[in-house]
Amino acid sequence: MRLRSVTVYALALTVAASVAACGGGGQESAPASAPAAAPAGQRVDPATAGEVTGTVVLDGTAPANVAIKMNADPICIKQAPGTQMQETFAVAADGKSLGNVFVYVKDGLGNYVYDAPSGIATIDQKGCRYIPHVFGMRVGQKLEILNSDPTLHNIHATPKANSEFNTGQPIQGMKTEHTFASQEVMVPFKCDVHGWMNAYVGVLDHPYFTVTGADGKFALKGLPAGTYTIEAWHERLGATTQSVTLAAKETKDVSFTLKVPATATN
């Protein structure tokens, strides 16, 4: 009897040791008694941080935005009366400056570390549109998806680096939360119910991103001194990059020019 108990204990220990040795499937776990690891890399000093500002302009004439036919859903017509246009080319009154362009630091940040993203990014489905049409958020940040319309929507994200999802929101006021695990520029959103609805989110592991306003202007604030590759991305015109060297406390103005191909359509 005693021998059997010893055998059972020995077997249990062997199994436990094997599990401990193999466990985790690639996830390394720190010893239970070890303190939480301090983040590697340095933090940005706000006192010496600089800024990159600028404007995104068009080289050429953007095609006119297409009118949206919302007659597939009478509720959409009621929610968004009058002529509704696509938001593909948000061109300012000067005919050159371009809004809805995602501008971000693509490279050059090294191993800086940042505070975890605070606050919640939000995308609303209102008037059978996505608001905002283009936006940015951080890896791991909470995204609140809201349906403010009294009709149903599905929000369908089609990322490449992250997991695809397709969530139905049939009731007005419904909220869904989502986080992205990996950096990705850009993640498209679409509504398969209302084919005209689309939006784009840039997901980054740092806070240096923005979207040009209606006047085509942007500002990337709080950047430490360094040389950066900055990219301006537009949903139809693609992306263009520039290398910018920024000294401490410096503000540098750069302009991006996006060429409109002769064959560009909305």
Q: For residue 53, which amino acid is it?
A: T
Residue 147: exposed, middle, or buried by beta-carbon count in 10 A (0-12, 13-18, 19+)?
A: buried
Distance CA 157, CA 123 (A): 12
Distance CA 161, CA 176 (A): 21
Among 86, 148, 167, 176, binds other proteins (CB under 8 A): 167
Cβ-based nearer residue to other proteins, 149 or 231: 149
Neighbour tally for 85: CB within 10 Å: 12
**Contact mark string toward other proteins, 27..46, x via CB under 8 A:** --------------------
Distance CA 72, CA 75 (A): 9
Contact stretch for other proteins (CB under 8 A) within 115-123, 159-167, 181-189, 231-239: 159-167
Q: Which two tokens stand for residue 171?
A: 């009731």
Contact stretch for other proteins (CB under 8 A) within 49-57, 158-166, 179-187, 232-240: 158-166
Q: Is 194 in the site for other proteins (CB under 8 A)?
A: yes
- Rounded CA Rg of the chain: 25
Q: Is 73 in the site for other proteins (CB under 8 A)?
A: yes
Contact stretch for other proteins (CB under 8 A) within 117-125, 164-172, 208-216, 237-245: 164-172
Give the residue ranges of DSSP H helices in the chain. 2-22, 74-79
Q: Is 53 in the site for other proteins (CB under 8 A)?
A: no
Q: Is 173 in the site for other proteins (CB under 8 A)?
A: no
Residue 63 C-beta: closest distance to other proteins, Å: 16
How big is the site for other proteins, counted in residues (CB under 8 A)?
19
Among 145, 187, 193, 246, binds other proteins (CB under 8 A): 193
Cβ-based nearer residue to other proteins, 130 or 208: 130
Sheet holding 102-107, edge to edge: 209-211, 102-107, 226-234, 238-246
Q: Under a CB-based contact definition with an 8 Å cutoff, are residues 52 and 223 in contact?
A: yes
Contact stretch for other proteins (CB under 8 A) within 4-12, 25-33, 66-74, 208-216: 66-74
Q: Which stretches of the chain bind other proteins, using CB under 8 A?
A: 72-75, 151-152, 154, 156, 158, 164, 166-168, 170, 191-195
